[in-house]
Chains A and B, each alone.
Chain A
Amino acid sequence: MLPSKGRDPNMIKYLKQYRFYIILFLFILIPVIAIDTSTRSPREYRFYDRIIVGLTSPIQATISWSLEKLASSFENYIYLWNTHKDNLALLEENRKLLNSIANLRETQQENIRLRKILHFEEKFNIESVVARVIAKDVSTEYRSIRINRGESSGIKKNMAVVTDEGIVGRILRTTQNTSDIVTLLDPLSAVDAIVERSRARGIVEGLTDDACQLKYALRTDDIQPGDILISSGLGGIFPKGVAAGTVSRVNRKPYGITQEVEVRPSVDFSKLEEVLVVLNGVIE
């Protein structure tokens, strides 16, 4: 009997026989070819990734908003606990008033933060967009964050992200309404920095959840604990003079070319709520 047109029965037989090994080979091959050994950079969004981020970002924004409200309500509840004992009749009215005060306080705090950001904007003469942090990295090994502004607000890849306290990181990738930021704490971040006092130079890289390291600082460089690190302006991402952190520990061995310098970031990442995305690049 002749084989049907376009189908080789032997081929089908072999495919069936070695199906497991073919699938195994593909499962090994796909992840391996996905690794980009030349740049070591995180993934860019593809069209289907944008669909996934489109699904997750509203959930992330809703949860982070709810958490904020819940925390604020809980604080009010604690505050009201004693009042409840004293006068039940006034409780309802008190609660409403305190809620309003708490809301006003929250607005006031937000106002202060935004005012500081505005002052920062004026000081460095930069054009920027204020964004709210809505999520953090899914893995505890990396320390990226997601904000609620994206391409529609003019945000592009590699734009600098700062607060009035100092450098936050740079834009990693964007969608229409969200952006991912590689923070200063991320092991893959690198910011060219100089010591404000002695002008010693190095690269600030992420180390742990609350510390960075200054790499490539020469052993002969004058670096002391307490020294302030600022961005050098090289690399074309961060404006010159923005605070990166404070030297917390220096380990200078009697041999070698470089010294180990640990840095505490100037931004408190555990309390980061709003950030400023610099839209117009480096201006000295």
Chain B
Amino acid sequence: MTRTLLRALNTPLLILFVIIGLAIQSSLFAPWPLNYFQPDFVLLTVVWCALRRNFGEGGVITLFIANASEIHSSAPQGTHLVSYMAVYFFMRSASQFFVIPNLFSYAMFTLISSIIWKLVGLLILHLLGASGNQWRHTLTYLFLDASVGAAYSLWVFRWLEKFDWITFKNARAEHVVDEELQLENEGF
């Protein structure tokens, strides 16, 4: 019962953690020069969901947290929803074609995802006719932001791995629970 409850709480808790992460990101990393080292908790969670959740659940979480990110930014309406969803689709597709075995590979994909996220955002701004000279700024900080994101991912993904294990959301934990249930059913 406790395990089922913990498992059910995984998604709401994950969304809550991302919202707290957004608050930390926008206040702790606000002063210069810390602003150049701010992690994008939403992007990291989107990458994690794309690789560790099923298609429907991951997509819904992505929509929720992209929306939360959008209300903490002056980005035009829908920009974050589209760009984070693009990253989600990219990571889902990438996981079909590439083997992503360890945290280091996750970090590499986070780096690429961060670049894609920024370029998609810039493309949307361009299509909305609001990009102006924004591309200069985006390209200047493109690789710095992506590298920072990749560096944080090593730590955040380790933490998310633990979180999923505690809330019985990861495959290994599920297997252990299934085995225990089977043993219980067999009278052990």
Residues of A within 8 A of B (CB): 20, 23-24, 27-28, 30-37, 39-43, 45, 49, 52-53, 55-57, 59-61, 63-64, 67, 134-144, 146, 172, 180, 182, 186-188, 205, 207-209, 213, 215, 270
Question: Which one of B69-77, B150-158, B161-169, B173-181 is at the A interface?
Answer: B69-77
Residues of B within 8 A of A (CB): 16, 19-20, 22-28, 30-32, 35-36, 38, 40, 42, 55-56, 59, 62-63, 66-82, 85, 88-89, 118, 121-122, 124-125, 128-134, 136-138, 141, 145
Q: Which residue of chain A lies nearest to B85 when distances are taken between CB atoms in the complex?
A: A31
Closest beta carbon of chain A to B25's beta carbon, Å = 6
User: Which of B30, B42, B55, B80 counts the most A-chain CB atoms under 10 A from its CB?
Assistant: B30
Tell me the complex Cα distance, A108–B17, Å.
39
**With A31-B78, A136-B35, A205-B132 in contact, do A63 and B85 touch (Cβ < 8 Å)?**
no
Tell me the complex Cα distance, A37–B28, Å.
33
Q: Is there an interface contact between B68 and A141, defined as CB atoms closer than 8 Å?
A: no
Q: Is there an interface contact between A138 and B73, defined as CB atoms closer than 8 Å?
A: yes
Tell me the complex Cα distance, A180–B73, Å.
8
Closest beta carbon of chain B to A50's beta carbon, Å = 9
Q: Which residue of chain A lies nearest to B128 when distances are taken between CB atoms in the complex?
A: A40
**With A55-B19, A141-B118 in contact, do A35 and B76 touch (Cβ < 8 Å)?**
yes
Which chain B residues border A35 with CB–CB below 8 Å?
76-79, 81-82, 124, 128
Q: Is there an interface contact between B136 and A208, defined as CB atoms closer than 8 Å?
A: yes
Q: Is there an interface contact between A207 and B137, defined as CB atoms closer than 8 Å?
A: yes
Tell me the complex Cα distance, A35–B131, Å.
15
Q: Is there an interface contact between A30 and B77, defined as CB atoms closer than 8 Å?
A: no
Q: Can you spell out 5 A-B residue pairs with CB atoms less than 8 angstroms apart?
A: A35-B77, A55-B23, A56-B22, A135-B27, A138-B72
| Extra contacts besides A59-B23, A138-B26 (20): CB < 8 Å | A31-B81, A34-B77, A34-B81, A35-B77, A35-B81, A41-B76, A42-B73, A55-B23, A61-B27, A63-B23, A134-B27, A136-B27, A139-B69, A139-B80, A141-B122, A144-B74, A146-B26, A188-B130, A209-B137, A270-B31
Which chain A residues border B25 with CB–CB below 8 Å?
138
Closest beta carbon of chain B to A89's beta carbon, Å = 37
Which chain A residues border B73 with CB–CB below 8 Å?
42, 137-139, 142, 144
User: Which of B27, B118, B130, B145 counts the most A-chain CB atoms under 10 A from its CB?
Assistant: B27
Which chain A residues border B81 with CB–CB below 8 Å?
30-31, 34-35
Q: Is there an interface contact between A32 and B27, defined as CB atoms closer than 8 Å?
A: no
Tell me the complex Cα distance, A187–B23, Å.
22
Closest beta carbon of chain B to A188's beta carbon, Å = 6
SS class, residues of chain A in contact with chain B: mixed
Tell me the complex Cα distance, A49–B31, Å.
25
The list of the 7 closest CB pairs from A to B, nearest first, reads A35-B78, A34-B78, A144-B74, A31-B81, A56-B23, A59-B23, A60-B27
Closest beta carbon of chain A to B82's beta carbon, Å = 4
Q: Is there an interface contact between B28 and A63, defined as CB atoms closer than 8 Å?
A: yes
Q: Which residue of chain A lies nearest to B69 when distances are taken between CB atoms in the complex?
A: A138
Tell me the complex Cα distance, A59–B23, Å.
6
Q: Is there an interface contact between A139 and B32, defined as CB atoms closer than 8 Å?
A: no
Which chain A residues border B20 with CB–CB below 8 Å?
55-56, 59
Q: Which residue of chain A lies nearest to B38 when distances are taken between CB atoms in the complex?
A: A140
Q: Is there an interface contact between B59 and A64, defined as CB atoms closer than 8 Å?
A: no
Q: Is there an interface contact between A180 and B35, defined as CB atoms closer than 8 Å?
A: no
Tell me the complex Cα distance, A43–B82, Å.
14
Tell me the complex Cα distance, A205–B89, Å.
33
From B71, B76, B89, B133, A36 is in contact (CB under 8 Å) with: B76
Tell me the complex Cα distance, A146–B25, Å.
13
Which chain A residues border B79 with CB–CB below 8 Å?
35
**With A23-B59, A138-B69 in contact, do A64 and B27 touch (Cβ < 8 Å)?**
yes
